[in-house]
Structures are given as C-alpha cells and as structure tokens.
C-alpha cells in the first residue's frame, strides 16, 4: 500500500511547519492559480481556512485554501492544488469532502474556474454544478465558469416549493427530455406539456442538468438553456444518500464510461435520492435497465408516452409499493416509556401547527394508561421508527385511533400509512368492532388521502369507517345501518346515504353497485347480491407467497412479512380455459395438491376480485411490479414467451378460511350444485354455493 492510499486531512495555522510547503506548492502552479500575496497565506492560516493533505511521513500532498463570506453565508474555494506526484489518488476529493463537512452550516461552496482549464472536468466529479459564467479579466478573453455545491438548507423559497411539490407526483427528466422540451422537436415529449397533466405531476430537473448544459459549445446556447431550466423546480437530495445510490448504480456504467454516461446515471441517482416518483427518459440504455432498477430502488423508469398513457396506474404505483416496504419493514413493536423525546422529533407535524410540547404530552398520556391504550411503532431493518399508531381500546363497539403518523419525508410514507390503516381495519374485524374512528388532528395530507381511499369519511370530530362483520342478506345490513344511525348521531347522514344506495341497488338487482357498497363496510358480505363468484385454482407455492399464512410458515424463510403487506395482490395465469372470469366478483382459492405442502389440496381463502387484465408480459409486469411477489422470470415462465398474452387477476381483502375445505367435501358440494369440474381452471359457482362453502369452513 502506498502512502497516498490513506492521506491525512488537517488544518494548518501560522505556526505549522507545513505552511512554507504550501507556499512552495502554490509557486510551482502560480501560472494557473494566479497571483496571491505571500502575507495572505498567513492571514488564511490564522483563520484556519487552509486544509492540507499529508502522507504517513507528513509530506505535503496537496492543499485547499478557501474563504468564508458571512454576508452571503457561503464559502469559496480560492486554491485547490495537488502535487504532481500525488495526482490521480483521490486527494482532491478528500480535501473537498472535508471542506463540505467544515462548511455544512453555510448555504454552500462556490468557486470560479477558467473554462479552458483542465480543472473544469474535475469539479462535476466532486459534486459541483456549473450555474453561470462570465468573462474573465484575462487579456486572452477567457470565460469563467461559476461552480456551486449546495448544502440544501431550507429557506422560504425552498419550503414553498417543497410544499407545492408534495401535492403532485414528482417527475425527474433527463437531458434528452429537457432539450426536447426546449427545442419543441419531439412530439412524444411535448405531450408532457398538456394542461391536464399539470394537476397531477410536477416536471423537475436534477442539478446535474447544469453540468450537461455546460458542455454546450457556445456561450449563447449555454445561457439560453440555463434560462430555460429555471422554469423547472430542481429536486434536492441528501448528499450522503446520493453517494450511496450512485455507488449502487455504478454497476450499470459501461466499461469505459463517457461524461454523458456518467451524467445519465447521476440524473437517475439524484431522482432516487430525492424521492422522485418517476424518471422519464428516451435513452434506451437506461430504459433497458428499468426492471432491475425498479426492483432495487422502486422508481419507475419510463418513456414520456408510457407516463402519459398509464398515469392512473402509475399514480397508484407511487402511492402503494408493498414490494419496497417488504425490504424496509422489520417489525411492529410496542412503544416503551421514556421514548417520547425521540418520537416527537420524528413524528411532530409542525407544518400543521403541532407543537412539540403538545405531542410529548399526548404520548405520555397514552403510555401512562396501558389498560386503555396501546401504542405501537413500525420499525425498519435498523430498528428505526418509521410509523406510529396508538389504539384506544376502552370502548367495545368502536376502535379509536388517537395517533396515526409516518416518518417525515420517508420515500415510502404513502405505503407505510396504507399498511398501518390495513392493520387498523384488520384489528377492528378481528375484535368485531362496528366502527373505527381516527381522532388524530395533526395527520399529514398523505395520511388523509389514504384514509379517504380506504372508505373513511371525514367529519368534524375525526375520520370514520363502518366495519360490519356478518354474512347476511341486504335487509340485515339496512337494519344494522339504521341502528348505527341512531347510536352515532354524527353518522346519521352517512348511514342514510349507504342505506339508500343499498335499497336502490337491491331493487334494481345491480350486483356491481352492491359490490361497491360491500367495500364500504368490509369485511361484511351481502349474501343475496348476485355478485358473480368463482373458484380459482392456484399452486401451493403461489398461495404461500400471496396469501396463505399456514403454507408460508412451512417455507424455510416464510413469507409472513410480505403477506402482512399484501392488501392487494396479482396472480398470473394462462388465458386458456378461463371460462370468462371477469371483475367485479368474489373468488375462493383452491390450493392444488402437492406432497411438499402439508394442507394443500383444498379451499383455503376468499378474496374480492378487483380486476382481470389481459396483456403481454412486459406490459403486465410493469403495471403490477409494485406488488412485488412476482419477478420478471416468473412472469415470462408463465407466459412461455414475450409474444404470448397473459391473464392478470388482481384481488384484495383476502380472508383465510378457519379450516381448509378438503377435496372430497368440496366435490360433494359441487356435485350437489350440478357442477362437474376437476378445478384445473376458474370455475363459476352460484352465490349460494359460495356462502355454503365459507360457512362449512
């Protein structure tokens, strides 16, 4: 190992024996560094504004001299000089990183460099971006480029911009899309400017775009592009997260990457580190890696046309990504006393005006009454809290949620809160509570949006969801709603509306309307709705991955974390012999017999059938990869070929049967109903048989 491998970075003062060597190194490079008075070195050393890199024998390898301008709250690099014998060893990078650490309380670090100097190729590699240029004072008419590294401290402008971006899905574009928009020369890309898209997406850039603009050949072109770029918000990201992400993406660089190759990957890394929802490009090399990148980082890489045609599906994808949460969520744990301080810092909603003292007091109250309240944290793989939920279990008929929070700015915040809401609904069902009330006054917009999606309604004293549990005729539910209306006066209008919808749908024999109403008070089922019902066969392996907890427990590693997250799931099968299965419907899962899986060969669970989609493997995989059970190899294996269409069965709200209905009993029930089948494919059954089966189990 050479001495250059582990350089020591330190600051020098006026008494340092290294200061004369700093001056000597400057003199040998004065032609590029410029004139600098000898006494100025002492002044900078006195202020400890000179960083030096030395080897294990204290030989000087290089130095960085900078100044701080309090009025601008920034720092500027005056000299960065590396001894010729030490170049190419990462010395400059280590000096600059130490500078970033030393100045992290400032706005950022800037410098100016002549455009014709080779050093201009170094600055972007060190994390700087080229923000502007102007004519230098040299008699040769050189151009000075202004380089900048931002510490990303919030200010009034950035806070306002972040608040606006949080209302939309953030779309990062790369340079080829940017130039398309500027030059208006690509019809596919120009579709991104449609007015209707403005309500749901925000087109953003990463600051790497400024470095790409800086490569343009003329100053006029560079200036025009910089001016055009100001109309797009720049998505910020944590430098540490960016470094980790870019390091993980480097495997996708070609053997001898060009500056353009590197920039392409930096755009993507900054999109991931900045929690962008989508990355849009026309670069085939990046698009070819979309599946691998999605599986590792969860960001969809799309052409402009794909973003536009699939915006509704993609919107859902950005909100709910159980595939990524499965790799993040580790456990649900009871909150211990003395944890208030940590939790307040993580989950306080200051945007909505919540005070730290109020949240701390609330937490202490909840933790001091364990006979009435239970407080839980969702933990990531490092045991860091990423979600917080507090149940009030005092009342028998109503389950109250006094806190429902997710970690600020977490890339999976929307998925985490949907998981927590799923746990709330599951608990209410298990405890047979007829009503759920969420009373937390300081939830964020993502949580409110998720509650509305799960059929909660917002009233003046919180969010409510009806949770009925019986399997009964429509008239029973109408009566039950009448009781709730009398018991809870604030729900009077809501219950009346559901009652009216039920009565009208029943009178019209509208199975689709009844299926939708069922979702409002799930897990209850209307037994005389005429909603289509099917038995769907599934192999034990896929049953254990998608919903079957008992089968999952037989696997060496199990699938229980994934099962807990899969409020909705996808099952792929051949289109052949599908017997016209369509949604909406109910399905009962028949898990086929396999010697490896004890308990297979029977009916195991039932679900709501949300959708049946036919399509080619790539299209379907991209559409449903967020659900995370299937890998690309599984999908193509099922299809046999990319040219063969597949059937994707999307289902939700799966309920395990208390006991499996075995083959002989099942065949007896089917025979009595006049159905002859070996269950090799989906089998339509009467609604009455559906309820007979689940009552037998």
- 365's CB contacts (< 8 A; 6+ apart) are none
Placement of tokens 């960083």 in the chain: 51
What average pLDDT does range 22-31 have in this prediction? 92
Confidence of residue 472 (pLDDT cuts 50, 70, 90): very high
CA-based nearest residue to 133, from 214, 190, 74? 214
HSE (CB half, 13 Å, CA atoms) of 397?
A: 5
pTM of model > 0.85: no
pLDDT in tens, 231-261: 999 999 888 899 999 999 999 998 888 999 9
The C-alpha atoms of residue 442 and residue 402 are separated, in whole angstroms, by 10
- Given a cut of 50, is residue 2 above it in pLDDT? no
pLDDT at 1 (0 to 100)? 35
pLDDT at 3 (0 to 100)? 45
- Given a cut of 60, is residue 560 above it in pLDDT? no
- Given a cut of 80, is residue 421 above it in pLDDT? yes
Confidence of residue 140 (pLDDT cuts 50, 70, 90): low
Placement of tokens 């890696």 in the chain: 289
Q: Please state the separation of Cα 608 from the chain's center in Å.
A: 26
Contacts 24+ apart (CB under 8 A), 83-88: 83/25, 86/4, 86/53, 86/61, 86/62
CA-based nearest residue to 343, from 354, 353, 352, 328? 354
pLDDT over 90 percentage in the chain: 56
The C-alpha atoms of residue 428 and residue 450 are separated, in whole angstroms, by 17
Residue 470 backbone zone (phi > 0: left; psi -120 to 50: alpha; other: beta): beta
- Given a cut of 90, is residue 332 above it in pLDDT? no
Q: What dihedral do alpha carbons 358, 361, 363, 367 form, nearest 10°? A: -170
The C-alpha atoms of residue 114 and residue 137 are separated, in whole angstroms, by 10
- 148's CB contacts (< 8 A; 6+ apart) are 108, 109, 110, 128, 129, 131
Q: Please, what is the average pLDDT of the chain?
A: 88
Placement of tokens 């004065």 in the chain: 30
Residues of 113-148 as b/e, b for ≥16 C-beta within 10 angstroms? bbeeeeebebbbebbbbbbebeebeeeeeeebbebb
- 47's CB contacts (< 8 A; 6+ apart) are none
- Phi/psi at 276 (nearest 5 deg)? -65, 150
The C-alpha atoms of residue 348 and residue 32 are separated, in whole angstroms, by 52
What average pLDDT does range 425-447 have in this prediction? 91
Contacts 24+ apart (CB under 8 A), 441-444: 441/352, 442/349, 442/352, 442/353, 442/354, 442/359, 443/349, 443/404, 443/405, 444/349, 444/351, 444/352, 444/405, 444/406, 444/413
Confidence of residue 174 (pLDDT cuts 50, 70, 90): very high
- Given a cut of 90, is residue 221 above it in pLDDT? yes
Q: What is the largest CA-CA distance in the chain?
A: 103
Length of the chain: 697
- Given a cut of 70, is residue 84 above it in pLDDT? yes
Confidence of residue 163 (pLDDT cuts 50, 70, 90): low
What average pLDDT does range 342-348 have in this prediction? 90
Cα Rg, the chain, nearest whole Å: 31
The angle that helices 175-183 and 219-229 make with each other, rounded to 10 degrees, is: 100
């Amino acid at each position: 190992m050479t001495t250059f491998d582990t350089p020591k970075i330190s600051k020098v003062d006026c008494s340092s024996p290294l200061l004369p060597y700093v001056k000597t190194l400057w003199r040998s490079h004065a032609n590029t560094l410029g004139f600098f008075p000898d006494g100025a070195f002492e002044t900078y050393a006195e202020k400890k504004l000179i960083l030096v890199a030395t080897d294990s024998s204290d030989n000087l390898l290089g130095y960085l001299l900078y100044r701080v301008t309090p009025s601008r709250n920034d720092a500027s690099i005056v000299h960065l000089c590396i001894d010729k014998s030490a170049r190419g060893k990462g010395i400059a990078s280590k000096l600059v990183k130490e500078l970033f650490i030393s100045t992290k309380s400032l706005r950022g670090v800037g410098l100016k460099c002549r455009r014709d100097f080779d050093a201009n190729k170094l600055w972007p590699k060190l994390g700087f971006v080229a923000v502007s240029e102007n004519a230098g004072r040299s008699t040769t008419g050189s151009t000075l480029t202004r380089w900048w590294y931002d510490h990303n401290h919030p200010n009034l402008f950035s806070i306002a911009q972040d608040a606006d971006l949080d209302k939309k899905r953030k779309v990062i574009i790369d340079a080829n899309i940017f130039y398309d928009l500027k030059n208006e020369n690509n019809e596919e890309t120009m579709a991104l400017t449609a007015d209707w898209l403005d309500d749901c997406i925000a087109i953003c850039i990463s600051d790497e775009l400024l470095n790409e603009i800086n490569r343009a050949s003329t100053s006029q072109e560079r200036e025009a592009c910089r001016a055009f770029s100001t109309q797009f918000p720049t998505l910020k990201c944590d430098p540490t997260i960016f470094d980790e992400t870019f390091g993980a993406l480097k495997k996708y660089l070609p053997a001898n990457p060009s500056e353009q190759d590197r920039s392409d990957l930096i755009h993507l890394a900054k999109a991931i580190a900045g929690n962008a929802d989508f990355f849009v490009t026309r670069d085939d090399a990046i698009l070819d890696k979309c599946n691998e990148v999605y599986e590792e980082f969860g960001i969809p890489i799309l052409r402009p046309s794909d973003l536009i045609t699939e915006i509704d599906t993609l919107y859902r994808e950005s909100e709910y990504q159980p595939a990524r949460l499965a790799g993040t969520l580790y456990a649900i744990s009871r909150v211990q006393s003395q944890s208030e301080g940590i939790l307040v810092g993580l989950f306080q909603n200051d945007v909505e005006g919540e005070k730290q003292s109020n949240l701390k007091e609330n937490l202490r109250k909840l933790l001091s009454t364990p006979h009435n309240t239970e407080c839980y944290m969702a933990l990531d793989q490092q045991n860091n809290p990423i979600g917080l939920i507090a149940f009030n279990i005092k009342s028998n008929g109503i389950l109250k949620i006094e806190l429902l929070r997710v970690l600020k700015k977490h890339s999976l915040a929307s998925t985490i809160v949907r998981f927590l809401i799923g746990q709330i609904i599951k608990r209410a069902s298990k405890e047979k509570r007829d009503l759920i009330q969420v009373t937390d006054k300081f939830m964020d917009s993502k949580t409110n949006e998720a509650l509305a999606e799960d059929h909660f309604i917002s009233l003046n004293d919180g969010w409510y969801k009806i949770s009925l549990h019986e399997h009964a005729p429509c008239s029973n539910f109408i009566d039950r709603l009448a009781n709730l209306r009398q018991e809870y006066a604030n729900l009077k209008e809501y219950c009346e509306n559901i009652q009216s919808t039920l009565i009208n749908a029943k009178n019209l024999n509208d199975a689709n309307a009844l299926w939708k109403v069922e979702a409002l008070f799930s897990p209850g089922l209307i037994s005389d709705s005429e909603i289509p019902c099917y038995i769907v066969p599934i192999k034990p392996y896929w049953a254990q991955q998608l919903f079957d907890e008992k089968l999952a427990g037989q696997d060496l590693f199990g699938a229980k974390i994934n099962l807990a997250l899969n409020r909705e799931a996808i099952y792929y099968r051949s289109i052949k012999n599908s017997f016209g299965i369509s949604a909406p419907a109910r399905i009962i899962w028949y898990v086929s017999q396999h010697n490896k899986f004890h308990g297979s060969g029977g009916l195991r669970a039932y679900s709501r059938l949300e959708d049946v989609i036919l399509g080619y493997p790539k299209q379907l995989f991209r559409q449903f990869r967020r659900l995370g059970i299937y890998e690309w190899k599984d999908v193509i294996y099922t299809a046999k070929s990319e040219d063969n269409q597949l059937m994707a069965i999307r289902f939700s709200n799966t309920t395990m049967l208390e006991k499996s209905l075995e083959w002989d009993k099942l065949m007896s029930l089917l025979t009595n109903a006049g159905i002859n089948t070996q269950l090799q494919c989906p089998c339509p059954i009467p609604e009455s048989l559906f309820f007979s089966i689940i009552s037998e189990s």
